Copies of this chain bind each other. A is one copy, B any other.
């Protein structure tokens, strides 16, 4: 049974990162850590009581395609209705249109709970939130008035419609055609991999679609963003005719079976009615505005499933009695013991939790930077926080999801043979998490963004500023084993950053060949910093909870001894790993 890790979240937000600095900022006048606590408590209940129990229903029964549209399991319809009624769709949306305007940091904390409890469900509000953000930031006043209130209340959902068969990571290849027709456009094209592209949870779905206006320039500079409602909205706000868009099929996937992944066909008949968002040919730019939020939200899925998988494995390890570990540890000398007392099981459990805790801390730190970047009263502070947030996003997305793969695999392993049996449930996390390193930009795409736009473009300024802050923060801990190990890892990151910048000067190929290893190194090292800091805080008893402190200290130590050595390995790869890749001839593979 999943329990929302509220203590962990409170510790990270209040003690480790200090969310009180958000209180009173413009737009966050009402914010307080106490408010966060009450929201988290309610969200935790909803996750545990409503979303968790139907996670396996989503997996086993899943979404079903019919000629009339995608049919969701009734349990999902019911849960969605409760979700909307509870106001959860509003949390992060702007108050102008009925949202609660919660900071990104709190939104991130809450979304972890949805993702842990039921990843397939979580994707629906996540995509809606992205669509809301697109309209909030780039829509006309009339578009905002028409769509936002019902999307923010949860009465309607939204989607992001980007991918085409020939245009996956490379959006320049998009072909969907838009033809001007008075105040709107007619859209024709086929889109794939559209999450919640069709469903029966709500009466309408607002698609945000990338397409190309006839006569637009080739490549990314000719892409526009359109609003395409599934059902057209009349002037009085009521629903009119069905638009010319339909779900042709849904994918049969490795995981997240409860989330329909749709092939959408636009304009089979007269063309789908589409409304331009912002200006023509600036669609990709608008899309990138939302990308940070979406990538952060997928990043958290990595540790959300690590946490869920950890809790599942721990519960099993505490009850499965099997053999006796050597040595003296544990009660009842000589008798078989729960496997939680076996050293190798302890190693796996601590490693899983180490991944989850470090990734959560990094993600919430990144979210805090985005909030400060948007809200801080000081312009230079805003700029610094925004650039740090931007720097961290690909690391959160890439590292956290890659660690999610490792953690959920350990979760299966701890169950032994039972882990391979679907009814046990451990395998579902292993399957579900597998998409997280792929959608919203693969780990390779994140790493390219990191070394190009985030580290290369400013010649390492934002990264070196972060490194300097981490080292100064860790200076007082240099006498402790954990502090020393964290400092060592951050220094390796500093050297690797220099290596990478040097390689940049020799052209783009060499850094590309070690971009993912560099991204992973970033995650391990930044995680080391935050785990060392968290260890230090528990030693100073900031929580006033001795048991929690000791628990966190165990995990920090395991992180440093069992996970952080990976920083060495990846630093070595960054240092000398590019030529073996660049020189390799694909014809000889």
Contacts and interface: CB of A to CB of B under 8 A. Distances in A.
Interface of A: 163, 166, 168-170, 172-173, 192-193, 251-255, 314, 317-318, 321-323, 325-330, 336, 338, 340-350, 353, 405, 409, 412-413, 416-417, 419-423, 427, 430-431, 434-435, 437-439, 442-444, 447-448, 507-509, 512-517, 547, 550-551, 554, 557-558, 560-562, 565-566, 568-570, 572-573, 576-577, 579-586, 588-589
Given A328-B507, A347-B513, A508-B327, A435 B416 contact: no
Contact of A586 (B173, B340, B444, B561): B340
Contact of A573 (B336, B353, B562): B562
Nearest to A327: B509
A335 to B, nearest CB: 12
Number of copies: 2
Q: In terms of DSSP, what is the predominant structure of the interface of chain A?
A: helix
9 contacts: A254-B422, A254-B427, A342-B512, A346-B581, A347-B516, A350-B584, A413-B444, A416-B438, A554-B589
Contact of A340 (B254, B447, B589): B589
B434 A412 contact: yes
B326 A508 contact: yes
B327 A420 contact: no
Nearest to A354: B580
Nearest to A549: B588
A318 B586 contact: yes
A254 B431 contact: yes
A434 B430 contact: yes
B346 A513 contact: yes
Q: Which 3 A-B pairs have the closest CB atoms?
A: A326-B508, A327-B509, A170-B323
Nearest to A170: B323
Given A168-B416, A173-B336, 7 more contacts: A254-B422, A343-B582, A344-B447, A347-B516, A350-B581, A427-B434, A561-B579
A343 B577 CA distance: 12
Given A323-B170, A562-B577, A420 B444 contact: no
A417 B342 contact: no
Given A422-B254, A430-B254, A437-B413, A512 B327 contact: yes
A435 B318 CA distance: 22
